[in-house]
């Protein structure tokens, strides 16, 4: 532990993770919907074809995720993350120069590669390694940044687009992304407490419990053969499809049903503000009441909120949707790494969660364009919303089964 009176370095890891998530997810991913109509109307794309650039970025992340977990464990994390944050920043800023779909698609590949080593995998790995106590709260804090990013940058992006054009909006946001991520990657991050001569927060240096926690768990190959891994993978995939299929089409959907663009952006900001609170609460609840009850609460909120979209032409229903969806969607980011550590252990968390993150990015790659194509075919999002409710129910079943299998295995050990 650090000397008395000093802040444990684990909390500086939280600060770094917060900024990495704020930029990499809160700005790049959670503000994407504001750009849809301006770019499409300016360049003549369809919704499905333009949304495909996010799919390509997600597929690049998916391909890189298992390799990134190994690289982060094997090499200096500052070198790997320095390269990745720079690549992500430059690629996103260069969207400002795009005029064809091919240009968007090409830059998306590089942005996806950089993103794989910037936020979800390295941040989850660092928080898992650095915290023995308060791990759920720490995970909630770092992923609350995604909501704060969306809350701040959805209306800011909309203002930039309306006053300076979508090109300048991409460039300005790209500069902000670089300021938030590159210094953190180069100067603050550390993969594990031993890199600073410390024990995790809440553990005594050299304690038997600390050593046992660090050494316990599956290898990557053992995890791939474990039923709990594939149950978690299914849960993560279904949640990602439902989340991303709704999230990036909230603003287009609300404007389709008669809500003004500025009001839709404001409602999106409300959703992001609630997302911040939801992730903090869910992280703390995971520490207090356990992962299974937290998972069920989130899935109930997710499915009910998507159902509210059918009546979102009524303003108070649109508000209720954004509040409930904002709280429930913490199930996508806060709970999966905690459940992975609980079900499969910490020994090779980075590599294992890298494999599981394949399903996060695959779900993102499916969900965003799926909603766009459903709208192009039917002139409505209603069929897509019904599908996402069903996937939410399946995700709950898979998650509960994974946790029960892990508990049974521990009881038999």
Domains, the chain, with CATH or none: 9-412 (1.20.1250.20)
Residue recorded with tokens 């300021």: 179
Asked if the model's pLDDT at residue 213 lies above 80, the reply is no
The Cα–Cα gap between 388 and 246 comes to 8
Supply the pLDDT for residue 257: 84
Element holding 178 (H helix, E strand): helix 135-187
Supply the pLDDT for residue 3: 45
The arithmetic mean of pLDDT across residues 72-95, rounded, is 94
Positive or negative, the Cα torsion across 114, 119, 121, 122? positive
Supply the pLDDT for residue 216: 65
Supply the pLDDT for residue 155: 83
φ/ψ of 216, rounded to 5, equals -85, 155
Element holding 402 (H helix, E strand): helix 382-412
Asked if the model's pLDDT at residue 394 lies above 60, the reply is yes
Supply the pLDDT for residue 104: 95
Model confidence band, residue 239 (pLDDT cutoffs 50, 70, 90) = very high
The arithmetic mean of pLDDT across residues 148-159, rounded, is 85
Burial class (CB in 10 A: 0-12, 13-18, 19+), 41: exposed
3-class DSSP assignment, residue 338: helix
Contact 222, 212 (CB under 8 A): no
Contact 236, 359 (CB under 8 A): yes
The arithmetic mean of pLDDT across residues 210-227, rounded, is 70
Residue recorded with tokens 């759920």: 136
309, two tokens: 């979209």
The Cα–Cα gap between 299 and 394 comes to 10
DSSP secondary structure letter of residue 25: I
Residue recorded with tokens 């998650």: 399
Residue in 349, 392, 24 with CA at minimum distance from that of residue 179: 24
φ/ψ of 131, rounded to 5, equals -125, 125
pTM of the full predicted structure? Answer: 0.77
pLDDT digits (tens, 9 = 90+) for 16-66: 999 999 999 889 987 887 888 899 999 998 877 887 888 788 889 888 888
Residue in 285, 262, 355 with CA at minimum distance from that of residue 139: 285
pLDDT digits (tens, 9 = 90+) for 252-302: 888 888 888 778 878 877 877 787 888 888 888 888 888 889 899 999 999
Supply the pLDDT for residue 278: 85
14, two tokens: 């939280």
3-class DSSP assignment, residue 345: strand
The arithmetic mean of pLDDT across residues 4-22, rounded, is 89
3-class DSSP assignment, residue 341: helix
Contact 38, 161 (CB under 8 A): yes
């Amino acid at each position: 532990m650090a000397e008395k009176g000093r802040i444990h370095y684990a909390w500086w890891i939280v600060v770094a993770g917060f900024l990495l998530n704020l930029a990499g997810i809160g700005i790049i991913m959670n503000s994407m919907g504001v750009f849809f109509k301006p770019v499409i109307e300016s360049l003549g794309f369809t919704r499905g074809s333009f949304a495909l650039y996010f799919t390509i970025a997600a597929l690049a992340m998916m391909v890189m995720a298992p390799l990134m977990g190994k690289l982060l464990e094997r090499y200096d994390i500052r070198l790997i993350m320095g390269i990745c944050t720079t690549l992500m920043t430059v690629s996103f800023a260069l969207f400002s120069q795009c005029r064809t779909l091919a240009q968007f698609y090409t830059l998306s590949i590089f942005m996806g590669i950089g993103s794989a080593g910037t936020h979800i995998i390295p941040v989850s790995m660092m928080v898992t390694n650095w915290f023995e106590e308060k791990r759920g709260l720490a995970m909630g804090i770092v992923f609350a940044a995604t909501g704060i990013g969306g809350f701040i940058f959805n209306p800011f992006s909309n203002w930039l687009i309306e006053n300076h054009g979508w090109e300048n909006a991409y460039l300005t946001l790209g500069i902000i992304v670089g300021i938030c991520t590159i210094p953190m990657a180069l100067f603050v991050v550390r993969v594990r407490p031993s890199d600073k001569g410390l024990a995790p927060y809440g553990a005594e240096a050299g304690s038997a419990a600390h050593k046992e926690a660090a050494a316990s768990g599956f290898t990557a190959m053992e995890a791939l053969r474990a039923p709990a891994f594939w149950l978690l993978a299914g849960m993560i995939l279904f949640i990602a499809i439902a989340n991303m299929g709704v999230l990036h089409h909230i603003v287009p959907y609300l404007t389709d049903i008669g809500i003004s663009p500025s009001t839709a952006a404001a409602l999106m900001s409300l959703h992001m503000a609630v997302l911040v609170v939801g992730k903090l609460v869910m992280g703390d609840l995971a520490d207090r009441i356990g992962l299974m009850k937290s998972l069920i609460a989130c899935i109930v909120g997710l499915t009910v909120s998507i159902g509210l979209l059918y009546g979102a032409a009524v303003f108070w229903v649109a508000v209720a949707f954004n509040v409930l969806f904002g709280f429930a969607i913490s199930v996508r980011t806060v709970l999966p790494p905690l459940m992975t550590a609980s079900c499969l252990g910490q020994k090779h968390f980075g590599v294992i969660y890298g494999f599981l993150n394949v399903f996060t990015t695959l779900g993102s790659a499916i969900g965003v364009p799926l909603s766009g194509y459903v709208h192009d075919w039917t002139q409505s999002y209603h069929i897509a919303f019904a599908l996402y409710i069903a996937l939410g129910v399946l995700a709950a079943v898979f998650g509960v089964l994974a946790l029960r299998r892990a508990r049974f295995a521990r009881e038999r050990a």
